[in-house]
Amino acid sequence: SSSLFAAIDMAPRDPILGITEAFNADTNPGKINLGVGVYYDDNGKVPLLACVQKAEAKLMEQQSPRTYLPIEGLAAYDKAVQELVFGAGSPILQEKRAVTVQALGGTGALKIGADFLKRFSPNAEVFISDPSWENHRALFESAGFVVNNYTYYDPATHGVNFEGMLESLKAMPQGSIVVLHACCHNPTGADLTQEQWGKVIEVVTANELVPFLDMAYQGFGAGIAEDGAVVRRFAEAGGPLLISNSFSKSFSLYGERVGALSVVASNAEEAARLLSQLKRVVRTNYSNPPTHGGKVVATVLSTPELRQLWEDELAGMRVRIKEMRDALVKKLADKAPGRDFEFVREQVGMFSYSGLTKEQVGKLRAESIYAVDTGRICVAALNSKNIDRVVDAVAKVL
Ligand code: PLP
């Protein structure tokens, strides 16, 4: 028998996975899972976008051999990502200051970025928002960093404690790595205004912090260009900048693992050196990325009709979520008069910090409605068929 394995403890369970397990085991046919981090359509299904189906049909016809991709991924994909993230014709791209590597989803992009930063800034500390996507902390800790929080959410206003956030940024040691949600903050749904971003960029630049923008939901906020504007503003500020982006949600391609890491350097020569080091990180992790998802996304983004179709389909998802926010607010005003849920309309993206307490979430579970203990609900899991049941149950537990 192996004493090495015999001494290994059971790792703690993933809290979101625990909700899904409980949901799956529930035999109530009316059960509703608002704990997920996935976009569902009005029929409660994960969509297969028409632009993806058409791109796949095209790729199927080509019958390409499955050779290895370059370490940094498919060239057409990396280029399409850059144009989406920085804007086609951006001076950053013309000056060849940005380098991009295809990654295994947004998570893979964050991990490549974290490993890269650990090599070249080993003593820096990392700061994530309080609260943040739960994997941010684990990811940067597993790359060897000490991870701290910066002030972000204010439960009293259901919005951002912006003064507190600025104070946190000002107090960070020079060279600290600050992870910022570019749009559609997960888990709270509370985003900064464009004016507030301007102040954040000033402090980040003055304090010589290293911004790492995580953009997992481009197109789910105000629109593709609008959501990406913050990346351009940071890039123009001139300092070092890392951006992880993901197509899991915007293309509904969760299982294909399509994302990218982009890094902005001071000039083309520095950018070339950065790329060589990023490739080293990839090479020693998984050698090179898979072909299918990258080809699908590159095909859609670079074929005008498919690109238009994608933008329309993405707008459809964005609009449906907003309709569900509106419906939730209106119906709750009816069923729970005197309680103000207006803030749900102000929140952006797939999630809402609903303000429900852990105890209330527990009571919802007795009604076979599943949410995260923090009160986070996935607005994209609401639809015209289940919303009344959700509203009735919420009104009952308030
Ligand atoms: N970053 C944030 C803020 C997210 O919410 C998510 C997914 O939920 C990710 C990164 C990871 O995205 P992916 O599934 O593409 O790895």
Give the DSSP letter string of 64-99.
Answer: ---PPPPTT--HHHHHHHHHHHH-TT-HHHHTT-EE
**Higher pLDDT, residue 206 or 16:** 206
Give the three-class secondary structure for 378. strand
Judge whether residue 238 has pLDDT over 90. Answer: no
Q: Which are the catalytic amino acids?
A: 133, 214, 249
Distance 115 CA to ligand 1 centre (A): 17
How far apart CA 297 and CA 315 sit, in angstroms, is 17
Per-residue model confidence as pLDDT tens digits over 86-137: 999 999 999 999 999 999 999 999 999 999 999 999 999 999 999 999 999 9
Measured from the CA of 108, which atom of ligand 1 is nearest?
A: 16
- Model confidence pTM above 0.95: yes
Measured from the CA of 248, which atom of ligand 1 is nearest?
A: 15
Distances (CA, A) of 385 to 42, 43, 324, 390: 8, 8, 11, 10
Judge whether residue 364 has pLDDT over 70. Answer: yes
Task: Examine residue 289 and say whether the peptide bond preceding it is cis (omega within 30 degrees of 0).
Answer: no
Per-residue model confidence as pLDDT tens digits over 226-237: 999 999 999 999
**Residue 97 · residue 107 · CB < 8 Å:** no
Alpha carbon 255 to its chain's center: 15
Q: What is the CATH number of domain 64-151+173-185+207-303?
A: 3.40.640.10
Distance 191 CA to ligand 1 centre (A): 16
Distance 340 CA to ligand 1 centre (A): 30
Domain residue spans in the chain? Answer: 64-151+173-185+207-303
Per-residue model confidence as pLDDT tens digits over 8-39: 999 988 878 889 999 999 999 999 999 999 99
Indicate the pLDDT class of residue 1, thresholds 50, 70 and 90: low
Structure confidence at residue 287 (pLDDT): 98
Give the three-class secondary structure for 107. helix
Q: Indicate the top mutation candidate among 81, 102, 112, 135 to test ligand 1's pocket, ranked by most ligand atoms within 8 A of CB.
A: 135
Query: CB under 6 Å to ligand 1: residues?
Result: 37, 105-107, 133, 181, 186, 214, 216, 246, 248, 259
Rounded to 5 degrees, what angle do the CA atoms 246, 260, 52 make? 55
Give the three-class secondary structure for 5. helix
